[in-house]
Amino acid sequence: MATDVLFEIRKKLEPHVGERIKLKANRGRRKTYEKEGILESIYPSIFVIRVDEQNYFQRLSFSYADVLTETVELSFGEEIRRRSVSM
């Protein structure tokens, strides 16, 4: 059952590969950060977001379970302020 939900989250993310994405991640104990980047790739267990900073870039990876448990909230493209992926 949980596998089906994670698969659905992955299916919702697949059409957005290469698009601009905004993420809000909760890393515990009041450590929350917001970043904007590009959804770079989708894998069976994780997805990767490329964040471009001033003079460098970094890649952040998250699992689909992070989206399910609302540890990570995602918003896409023109709808960054209005739409997020969640279950």
For residue 85, tell me if it sits in a domain.
no
Q: Does the pLDDT of residue 34 top 60, yes or no?
A: yes
For residue 84, tell me if it sits in a domain.
no
Going by the DSSP 8-state scheme, the letter that residue 37 receives in this structure is E
Mean model confidence pLDDT for the chain: 85
Quick one: three-class SS letters along 46-79?
Answer: EEEEEEECCCCEEEEEEEHHHHHCCCEEEEEHHH
Q: Which residue has the higher pLDDT, 48 or 84?
A: 48
- The CATH number of residue 75's host domain is 2.30.30.100
Q: What is the pLDDT of residues 72-83, one digit of tens each?
A: 999 886 655 444
Structural domain range at position 62: 2-79
What is the pTM for the complete model shown?
0.79
pLDDT score recorded for residue 80: 52
Q: What is the pLDDT of residues 44-71, one digit of tens each?
A: 999 999 998 788 889 999 999 999 998 9
Domains in the chain: how many in total?
1
The Cα 66–Cα 33 span in angstroms is: 14
Residues 6+ apart with CB under 8 A from 25: 32, 33, 34, 35, 60, 62, 66, 71, 72, 73
